[in-house]
Amino acid sequence: MDSHDFGKAILELEDITMQFGGITALQGVTYQVPPDVIQAVIGPNGAGKTTLFHCISGLLQPTSGCVRMNGHRINGLPPHRITALGIARTFQHVALFKSMTVLENVMLARHPRTHSGFLATGFRLPGMRSEEKQIRESAACFLDFVGLEDDAHLEAGTLPLGKQKILEIARALATEPRLVLLDEPAGGLNMRETEELGELIRRIREKGTTVMLVEHDMNLIMEISDRILVLHYGRHLATGTPVEIKDHPAVIEAYLGEG
Amino acid sequence: MNRKDWLLFLGVGLFIGVFPLVVLQFKAVSHYVDVMIFAGIFSLVCLGLSMLMGFAGQISMAQAAFFGIGAYASGILTSRFGLNPWAAMPVGVALSASVAWLIGIPTLRLKGHYLAMATLGFGVIVHIILGEEVEWTGGPSGLVDIPGLSLFGRPVTNDVHWYYLVWGIVFLALVFCLHVIHSRVGRALRAIHEEETAAEAMGVPTARFKLQVFVLSAVFAAVAGSLYTHYVTCLNPGSFNLMWSIRFLLMVMVGGMRSLWGAIMGTVLLTFVGNEWLQVFADFEVLIYGAILLVVAMFFPGGLVSLVPRWPGPRKDPIPAASDGGS
Ligand SMILES: Nc1ncnc2c1ncn2[C@@H]1O[C@H](COP(=O)(O)OP(=O)(O)OP(=O)(O)O)[C@@H](O)[C@H]1O
Ligand SMILES: [Mg+2]
């Protein structure tokens, strides 16, 4: 199905079907994501892109099929376990902790890499203090990485949408994922912000994190993605490089047919 | 703890410290020491409830039941089996914690207000058991002959000693809770409150944290119940009914949902209102509480704690610690 050989897949989707009552949001999707790429997932509204991300991150249980990360089955695990195993995500509709500060949002995301519980924190045991310090420092580094360091102490809910989208990314990265799922990160961004976002996504991949990207902004997709998966009515419609997809007759028809 | 906490600590600590010395000078109000002992005991319950409801966003309608489990466990074990109160207290705490754990496991796995429903039912059941199991609890006529507390081999009989004992425990509990809130665990609890799905997706085991904070609230309530038992030395199921669970909720809400300091302020205020100032209006108690809640919701939605003046001077350290949320 795929003409490119990228070596062993970091993520394998095998025959994923997701039904909501009578609606079939995903229908037998089989696909492999190789490591260290920017993998775009596109498709018209309602194609099942967000549902696919939910199935990968464990927020939804596929009706049938199997999700594997580095060869290990992960569907069926609770979402926090999947995050700890190295898959993080952002949300299409921003889901920040709005009354917490920007820094605290990122500090929260250090959760799967830290340990102190009620007793350690309540009694301020020595290990907890150094851990708290380390959480604060590494969270600040992730803010630096995305360029939000100046907003660290603002309440997350007060940021403009563009910065909230970037904060979502910083928060996902702070869990130290090997695969990060970005659901429409450019939605609501202006042109300059979108350019910077493209730059940021490239830097994420250079750090050795595989990126899966759902986006409607075709310029961005064509510019930065290594491979594209096209979904249409929950089915796998086409796969290929940006150049291949751009001229793919079925894809053109799917998008034209919609409008 | 941050700067604001330290200042509040100083202020509130000073107030609590000198309170008995002052009111004992005036005969008309000298029994306020007794009221404040109850306020302290209830504050323990409300600190736990504030962690559960104000920070983690989970509502329990059964705090009076956990309070009652701690109280009756202590009362029965000491009066009928001659156990030392300090040995009976942990038994009540363990019992209360286990029950909370059993209720929490199925209900907190789900999103939504299932805990409120389950605890509502549970609270009613506990109240009925306390009234019906006459052989154990003394039933409606009450459990009597409960010994008082001893500390370092000497019985605590003086109200002032009780006062400092109870408020000492409240401050220890408060410091524990403040430390939890300003940490990884506190951030997880607040995140669950705000965006449970996102918290889970960021790696927070939300069900486990909700369960743990619920058990913690049951532990605090049981400790308070045990202290209550040995202070009043007789128990009656009426102190552990649904109305009391609602009073505890009100105390936290009136004080300020998102502040541990607020929980204490609300508790002290409503204890005075209920035990002291509005005794003559006892029949209208629910009405009055309703009115207080309405006024708070309309005019200071942050609760009493939002009336604490902002402290002058530099407030921003370069990377300030998590706020208690009460400002
Ligand atoms: N929880 C749900 N219950 C019922 N139907 C759902 C649910 N979630 C998604 N769907 C349906 O599944 C289909 C796929 O939705 P999904 O959100 O995955 O689309 P999408 O590709 O992300 O679209 P968009 O580009 O608009 O974000 C849609 O028809 C949607 O209505
Ligand atoms: Mg979507």
A165-to-A41, A116, A170, B31, B137 alpha-carbon distances in Å: 18, 29, 9, 58, 58
Whole-number Å distance, alpha carbon A233 to ligand 1 midpoint, is: 10
* Confidence (pTM): 0.92
At B154 the pLDDT is: 79
Whole-number Å distance, alpha carbon B306 to ligand 1 midpoint, is: 42
Whole-angstrom distance, CA of residue A224 vs CA of residue B186: 39
Q: Cβ contacts (< 8 Å) between B194 and chain A: which residues?
A: 97-100
Phi, psi (rounded to 5 degrees) for B56: -90, -10
Helix ranges (DSSP H) in B233-314: 242-255, 260-272, 285-299
Rounded to a whole number, what is the largest CA-CA distance in chain B? 62
* CB A106 near ligand 1, within 6 Å: no
User: What residue ranges in A34-74 does DSSP mark as E strands?
Assistant: 38-42, 64-69, 72-73
A57-to-A144, A232, B185 alpha-carbon distances in Å: 26, 21, 23
For the stretch B131-137, contacts whose Cβ atoms lie closer than 8 Å and that sit 24 or more positions apart, written own/partner, are B131/B237, B136/B72, B136/B76, B136/B80, B137/B72, B137/B76, B137/B235, B137/B237
Whole-number Å distance, alpha carbon B71 to ligand 1 midpoint, is: 52
The token duo for B227 is 């202290």
- For residues B35, B37, B38, B43, the Cα torsion angle rounded to the nearest 10 degrees is 120
Tens-place pLDDT, residues A74-128: 999 999 999 999 999 999 999 999 999 999 999 999 999 999 999 999 999 988 9
Domain membership of residue B171 (yes or no) is yes
Domain membership of residue B268 (yes or no) is no
Domain membership of residue B212 (yes or no) is yes
Tens-place pLDDT, residues B196-206: 999 999 999 99
Angle at B22 between CA B19 and CA B25, to 5 degrees: 140
Phi, psi (rounded to 5 degrees) for A135: -60, -45
Helix/strand/coil percent split, chain B, to 5: 75, 0, 25
The token duo for A131 is 């851990």
Residue of A203, A130, A190, A133 whose CA lies nearest to A163: A190
* CB A124 near ligand 1, within 6 Å: no
Tens-place pLDDT, residues B140-190: 888 888 888 888 877 888 889 999 999 999 999 999 999 999 999 999 999
Question: Which neighbouring-strand residues pair with A179?
Answer: A87, A210
* CB A45 near ligand 1, within 6 Å: yes
Residue written as token pair 């204890």 = B271
Domain membership of residue B192 (yes or no) is yes
DSSP label at residue A101? B
Tens-place pLDDT, residues A33-46: 999 999 999 999 99
Tens-place pLDDT, residues A199-244: 999 999 999 999 999 999 999 999 999 999 999 999 999 999 999 9
Whole-angstrom distance, CA of residue B281 vs CA of residue A82: 57
Domain membership of residue B248 (yes or no) is no
**How far apart, in Å, do the first and last CA atoms of chain A sit?**
28
Question: Which neighbouring-strand residues pair with A235?
Answer: A232
Q: Would you say residue B247 has pLDDT above 50?
A: yes
The token duo for B63 is 């705090």
Angle at B200 between CA B194 and CA B204, to 5 degrees: 95
Mean pLDDT score of chain B, rounded to an integer? Answer: 88
Whole-angstrom distance, CA of residue B184 vs CA of residue A125: 13
CB contact under 8 A, B202 and A103: no
Domain membership of residue B214 (yes or no) is yes
Give me the number of domains chain B comprises: 1
Domain membership of residue B62 (yes or no) is yes
Asked if A151 and A105 touch (Cβ cutoff 8 Å), the reply is: no
User: Which domain, by its residues, includes B57?
Assistant: 3-241
Domain membership of residue B299 (yes or no) is no
